[in-house]
Structure 1
């Protein structure tokens, strides 16, 4: 059976913890989560089913060295996909953000990653309803849905586990049909 690859970018470690929680809930169908700044393009492309996650930093930016991280992250990894063909890959995206402090760029990283992988042929699954969140705008929104799972560990941490459980149940069959 094929496994799900889980890749994450992080600033404070919250996204890593969520990725580890997802891997534990998925059990044997997922490999251990890998920091995107510590992997190769070949390792990423080895999976046909992926869960990828990222926080949104500052003014709607991906984590990376230009925003003060000491290690490479999504900002440095996504340009490596420029020549890659992601056709046949199914990707689910989750993102962490602060809907009150950053209401105008809440979980923008989901949208940035979504656009980058779709432009290279990937199929993205795992839309999540915007109901229950209080934000102004987001690059991660299409209609009434986020393009992936939106989590706010600052203001809604008690909803996280239920949201993860529901989302994983939704995407698992699409990732591993």
Structure 2
């Protein structure tokens, strides 16, 4: 079973989490709003997908901010994790999906195995804390509902196809 843990102010991140759950099969996924359940749910799952939007100038979304320090209290050894980040690459080009990168770094520092790197091709941004070391990929799926909404369904479907075999292998 896969847990998708998300925080959503406008509803966009929740919508993306629900789309990912549909693609992965709702019988295989449980959705959790971090503001309702906190992080305790992490211990009950070995496969986790974290969905987090970036706010303003590279800030963590308010529900994630409430539990931000708690992430450091969890052991992610033996857990397979993937990340989804939402942001506005034109309006906030210097901070595109930064929160995803910041959460990724916290979770990796606690031992997580990460899957689901996503190519930067097709995005226009200046900077991002969510880039892999070679800067050719994001550490997870990058979604821009503000300026590239028309690409969201295609990106979600392709990313789910990418991670499904890795999730099955880790199960």
- 1:70 alignment partner in structure 2: none
Unaligned runs of 5+ in 1: 65-72
CA distance in structure 1 between the partners assigned to 2:67 and 2:17 by the alignment: 18
Q: CA deviation at 1:81?
A: 2.4
- 1:120 alignment partner in structure 2: 110
Quick check: 1:49–1:176 contact (8 Å CA) kept in 2?
A: no
Deviations 1:143-172 (A, max 9, x none): 211010001111111111111111011111
- Of 72, 90, 105, the residue aligned with 1:82 is 72
- 2:156 alignment partner in structure 1: 164
Deviations 1:17-40 (A, max 9, x none): 111111122112112x11112114
Q: CA deviation at 1:77?
A: 1.7
Of residues 78-87 and 11-20 in structure 1, the stretch that sits farther from structure 2 once superposed is: 78-87
Secondary structure at the aligned position of 2:52 is classed as strand
Secondary structure at the aligned position of 1:137 is classed as coil
CA distance in structure 2 between the partners assigned to 1:163 and 1:40 by the alignment: 28
1:175 and 2:149 are equivalent in the alignment: no
Q: CA deviation at 1:136?
A: 0.3
CA distance in structure 1 between the partners assigned to 2:18 and 2:164 by the alignment: 16
- 1:129 alignment partner in structure 2: 119
Deviations 1:97-116 (A, max 9, x none): 10100000001011011001
Secondary structure at the aligned position of 1:56 is classed as strand
Quick check: 1:111–1:140 contact (8 Å CA) kept in 2?
A: yes
Of residues 73-82 and 149-158 in structure 1, the stretch that sits farther from structure 2 once superposed is: 73-82
- Of 59, 62, 69, the residue aligned with 1:61 is 59
RMSD after superposition:
1.1
1:100 and 2:81 are equivalent in the alignment: no
CA distance in structure 1 between the partners assigned to 2:66 and 2:168 by the alignment: 28
- 2:16 alignment partner in structure 1: 18
Quick check: 1:6–1:30 contact (8 Å CA) kept in 2?
A: yes
Q: CA deviation at 1:124?
A: 1.2
